[in-house]
Amino acid sequence: MKKARDPITCKYRMAWIIVMFDLPVVSDSERREATRFRTDLIREGYFMMQFSVYARPCGTSDKVDTQVRRLKKLIPPRGEVRAMIVTDAQWGRMMVFRGLDKPAPEDMPEQLMFF
């Protein structure tokens, strides 16, 4: 019989990749490269948290490694891209402020619970 996953342990095994970037958009070709980069991030499963800040959940450390390798191939020749990896537990402790409200951070998608 398969053991159920310990939710506390899972919070430290699952991770989020946060990608922050500052890309030049002065020329037409630079705008196209920046747009392509954002579109590619969305195709890879990232969602926009804020302008130029995207995030993607990963169910395992192997998934994180794979996504980092894939991310490196998407980076445009000019500009700066940073990636940060945080555990699901750290993600859950994120503070989000919008005016006077304090909404909760995004949840890990349900489908990843099956991996």
DSSP 41-83: HHHTT-EEEETTEEEEEESSHHHHHHHHHHHHHH--SSSEEEE
From 49, 59, 66, 74, select the one nearest 15 (Cα to Cα).
59
Q: Is residue 1 part of a domain?
A: no
**Is 47 part of a structural domain of the chain?**
yes
Count of structural domains, the chain = 1
Q: In which band, very low, low, confident or very high, does the pLDDT at 114 lie, cut at 50, 70 and 90?
A: very low
Domain residue limits at 90: 7-114
Is residue 67 situated within a structural domain?
A: yes
Helix %, strand %, coil % for the chain, to 5? 40, 25, 35
Instruction: Say if residue 112's pLDDT is above 70.
Output: no
**Span 21-52, pLDDT tens digits:** 999 999 999 999 999 999 999 999 999 999 99
Q: Judge whether 41 lies within some domain.
A: yes
**CATH assignment at residue 39:** 3.30.70.240
In a domain, 2, yes or no: no
For 64-104, the pLDDT digits (tens) are: 999 999 999 999 999 999 999 999 889 989 888 877 776 77
- 86 found inside a domain: yes
The mean of the pLDDT values for the chain is 85
Domain membership of residue 54 (yes or no) is yes
